[in-house]
Amino acid sequence: MGSGAAGYFDLEDPATAAVLENPMSALAPLTGLVVVDEAQRAPGLFPVLRVLADREGQPATFLILGSASPELTRQASESLAGRVEIVEMSGFDLSELPAADLHRLWLRGGFPRSFLAGSERDSCAWRRNFTRTFLERDLAGLGFGMSPRTMGRFWTMLAHYHGQLWNGNEIAASMGISATTARHYLDALEQTFMIRRLLPWHTNVGKRLVKTPKTYFRDSGVFHALQGIEAHPGLLTHPKLGASWEGFALEQILRAHPGTDAYFYAIHSGSELDLFFPNLRLGIEVKYQDAPRLTRSMRIAMNDLKLTELLVVYPGDREYALADGIRAVPLAAACRIR
């Protein structure tokens, strides 16, 4: 259904936006599926949608598409409470691609134009342009009032902390901003799905637990662009290789388990676990190694968290046991665990 067709409204089209200045007149006669794209440009639309959704017999179903604007999310939650399901749309992931495309997805990330680009150089150029556009236009358009230049510096600095504990004071001191401002910048990147903040698991195990969250770039391609990594050989020799694989693997696993509570686990003595699903009693450890081996940290996590199983995710293609309840598995296998 193209822009301008009955039942489809693209609010980036000025003519369509003019039509929806009178939303009740435009939308009330329509039946079936009605799509409103770029809805963050018209937050006042939602009270009208509530009235239309409550009509007897529900003659129309509304599919609202838009970016992660705080105002859009607030309007949807408040105006359409009990009437709306919010679905997070991401880029390509392993469930949509052949196994042979894993390394391409890891290098380029899941944005379609990056993944499908004709060359590595074109893909990296698209991602660099994307980050520039996101900083200079999209953040402001989504209601985040912050300097593109300062946010660009923050984003680049955050790339060096990918997969590490959040240290707002250190980042703030390096940039000459307050810790509160640094937290505000992190919140903006999290709300726009650029950054994932992974919380630590808190439980009474009689040990001093790490209580600071970790931060990860959700799209590995964007992370690589900020690190200046353009091609696979450069990735394999980069100091952030292990962190890159960890972030990519965790994001794929988390996408394969939507709505499932997940945390990392760490104690101050040094033992840790990259991912813990408490409802499944499942632990995940990510290693960029040809043949991962059993470690003392894995045994501690098995005992502390009473795990049913611990999976060690590595870039190989076969499964093998490391100990009772502990297996090394390819990434795709970890994504299939339920």
List average pLDDT for each run of 10 residues in the chain, which is 338 residues long.
64 89 91 88 82 88 76 60 72 92 97 96 96 83 78 92 95 92 91 92 73 95 96 96 98 92 88 94 97 95 94 96 97 90
Q: 60 with 121, same domain?
A: no
Q: For residue 236, what pLDDT is reported?
A: 96
Strands across the sheet containing 326-330: 263-266, 272-277, 282-286, 309-314, 326-330, 320-323
Which of 146, 131, 10, 16 minimizes the C-alpha distance to 66?
Answer: 10
Q: 35 with 109, same domain?
A: no
Q: 119 with 261, same domain?
A: yes
Domain count, the chain: 2
Which of 112, 105, 142 minimizes the C-alpha distance to 126?
Answer: 112
Which residue range is the domain that position 49 belongs to? 8-79
Of 52, 79, 106, the position where a domain reaches its end is 79
Which of 243, 224, 248 minimizes the C-alpha distance to 114?
Answer: 224
Q: 177 with 41, same domain?
A: no
- The beta strand positions in 206-308, using DSSP E, are 214-217, 263-266, 272-277, 282-286
* CA dist., res. 198 & res. 215, Å (int): 6
User: Helices 179-191 & 168-175, crossing angle to 10 degrees?
Assistant: 110
pLDDT tens for each residue of 73-99: 665 655 666 676 777 778 899 999 998
Q: For residue 43, what pLDDT is reported?
A: 72
Q: 163 with 245, same domain?
A: yes
* CA dist., res. 123 & res. 253, Å (int): 24
Partners of 217 in the β-ladder: 195
Q: 115 with 64, same domain?
A: no
Q: 70 with 194, same domain?
A: no
| pTM for the predicted model, two decimal places | 0.85
Q: 114 with 72, same domain?
A: no
Q: For residue 229, what pLDDT is reported?
A: 96
Q: 264 with 327, same domain?
A: yes
* CA dist., res. 167 & res. 182, Å (int): 10
Of 79, 103, 128, the position where a domain reaches its end is 79
Which of 110, 253, 94, 239 minimizes the C-alpha distance to 162?
Answer: 239
Contact 65, 37 (CB under 8 A): yes
Long-range CB contacts (within 8 A, 24+) of 106-110? 106/220, 106/235, 106/244, 106/245, 106/248, 107/220, 107/221, 107/224, 107/229, 107/231, 107/232, 107/235, 108/220, 108/221, 108/224, 109/219, 109/220, 109/221, 109/222, 109/223, 109/224, 110/219, 110/221
Q: 62 with 175, same domain?
A: no
Contact 61, 33 (CB under 8 A): yes
Q: 133 with 68, same domain?
A: no
- Whether 88 is covered by a domain: the verdict is no
Q: 124 with 249, same domain?
A: yes
- Whether 129 is covered by a domain: the verdict is yes
- Whether 99 is covered by a domain: the verdict is yes
- Whether 275 is covered by a domain: the verdict is yes
Which of 68, 239, 258 minimizes the C-alpha distance to 164?
Answer: 239
Of 45, 79, 113, the position where a domain reaches its end is 79
- Whether 85 is covered by a domain: the verdict is no
Which of 179, 127, 186 minimizes the C-alpha distance to 151?
Answer: 186
